Amino acid sequence: MEVKDFSWNSLAGRMLLVVFFSLVTLVGYFVFGLSFSGSPAETGRTLFDENCQSCHTFGGGEIVGPDLQGIFDRREREWVARFITSPDWMIAEGDPVAMELLIEFNGVEMPNQALAEADVELIMLFLESQDSLTQAVLELPRGSAGRGESLFTGDQLLEAGGTPCMACHTVGGIGEYGGGTLGPDLTRAYERYGEPGLTSVMQNISFPAMKYVYGGKNLSGQEIADLLAFFIEADTAGDEGMADQATGLFWMSGIGGAVVLFGFMALFWPRQSKNQIERLRIKAETASKGKL
Ligand code: HEC
Ligand code: HEC
């Protein structure tokens, strides 16, 4: 077939058109269909469950952060969107409402989760469509502080294979010289978050750095109960006692090391230095004798 004979009305032309439009439909389906599977508010709910639920209820009272019921009555929509997008910036900027909230919530800062603008909008839509949202309260088995400590330090492995907390956190004087420093010191976690708050953040881990490590490796109810018991014990023992123990250990090993070092010096240095001085003197004497 010669190109100049081509006509969209020919059989070949129509077939080409059919193929072209099928392709457009397919591409359209993958680009738009997949990201909008489910209603926007539904997608917003999934995002909320993954990123916010551990700290906020909607009509269920305060846990780590404020109850979000009535949020749009007490704040401007734009403020809410900005706060969800970058709470850290709002606090750094000294936004008066953000500062007030920070004080009210024991200095616990809402983490910046680096959410895309579109995702924040979907969460906003979900919040606006919500009357009340109560999460089931997890019934915890009895916890053991001793087991909690083993889980924290990694002496006992987490069932789902998550990294032991001590890789990034320390509690009082745990371990000889404390644990990791990537995450905050958790000695006072119980005081700051309270029991429901601490349970909830362990149940639905949504701190960015932790989400990355614990994705799909949830803690079991027993593990949460054990860790909680351990945090309660650490908090009541007081960080001072425990931290003192750690600093005490640090000083003791320092002093111990110094004593051993001085002991060696006491044994060898005087004799050696005397010898050396002696040798120098003899050398000098013989040299001057030689000159005379
Ligand atoms: C680790 C806990 C935590 C997570 C996770 C969290 N928040 Fe917060 N949120 C807080 C705290 C605490 C405050 C109080 C302000 C402060 O201290 O930073 C707060 C405040 C807020 C406020 C302002 C409330 C008011 O009364 O003005 C909104 C809105 C909000 N959060 C929405 C969200 C949304 C949406 C998500 C999920 C994308 C989320 N938060 C995730 C802890 C959290
Ligand atoms: C990969 C390092 C890492 C591991 C492992 C880890 N965390 Fe965290 N955690 C962090 C970081 C970083 C933060 C600070 C919040 C953030 O991500 O922005 C944090 C915050 C927290 C907080 C809030 C503390 C505060 O003062 O606001 C709690 C509670 C917590 N982690 C508990 C745990 C528990 C329990 C475990 C073990 C099951 C654990 N973490 C394991 C890195 C880690």
pLDDT digits (tens, 9 = 90+) for 60-115: 888 899 999 889 999 999 999 999 999 999 999 999 999 999 999 989 999 999 99
Buried b (16+ CB within 10 A) or exposed e, 74-85: eeeeebbebbbb
What is the pLDDT, as a whole number, of residue 246?
Answer: 52
How much is the average pLDDT of 39-57?
A: 89
Report the atom number in ligand 2 closest to the C-alpha of 227. Answer: 35
**Atom 24 in ligand 2: which residue has the minimum CA distance?**
184
Query: Ligand 2: does its nearest atom lie under 6 Å from the Cβ of 201?
Result: yes
What is the pLDDT, as a whole number, of residue 254?
Answer: 60
Report the atom number in ligand 1 closest to the C-alpha of 79. Answer: 29
Higher pLDDT, 32 or 287: 287
Q: What percent of the chain has pLDDT over 70?
A: 75
Q: Residue 178: pLDDT above 90?
A: no
Query: Ligand 2: does its nearest atom lie under 6 Å from the Cβ of 140?
Result: no
How much is the average pLDDT of 253-273?
A: 61
DSSP character string of the chain: --GGG--TTSHHHHHHHHHHHHHHHHHHIIIIITTTSS-HHHHHHHHHHHHTTTT--BSS--SSS---TTHHHHS-HHHHHHHHH-HHHHHHTT-HHHHHHHHHTTTPPPPP----HHHHHHHHHHHHT-S-B-PPPP------HHHHHHHHHTSS--TT-PPPGGGT---TT-TTT---SSSPP-TTHHHHHHHHHHHHHHHS---HHHHHHHTT-PPPHHHHHHHHHHHHHHHHH-HHHHHHHHHHHHHHHHHHHHHHHHHHHHHHHHHHHHHHHHHHHHHHHHHHHHH-
Higher pLDDT, 119 or 18: 119
Query: Ligand 1: does its nearest atom lie under 6 Å from the Cβ of 194?
Result: no
> What's the 184 CA to ligand 2 centre distance in angstroms?
7
Q: Cα separation of 222 and 211, whole Å?
A: 20
**Atom 8 in ligand 1: which residue has the minimum CA distance?**
110
What is the pLDDT, as a whole number, of residue 228?
Answer: 95
> What's the 180 CA to ligand 1 centre distance in angstroms?
26
Query: Ligand 1: does its nearest atom lie under 6 Å from the Cβ of 120?
Result: no
First to last CA, the chain: 122
Q: Cα separation of 251 and 47, whole Å?
A: 49
Residue 3 tokens, joined: 């190109």
Predicted TM-score of the model (pTM): 0.62
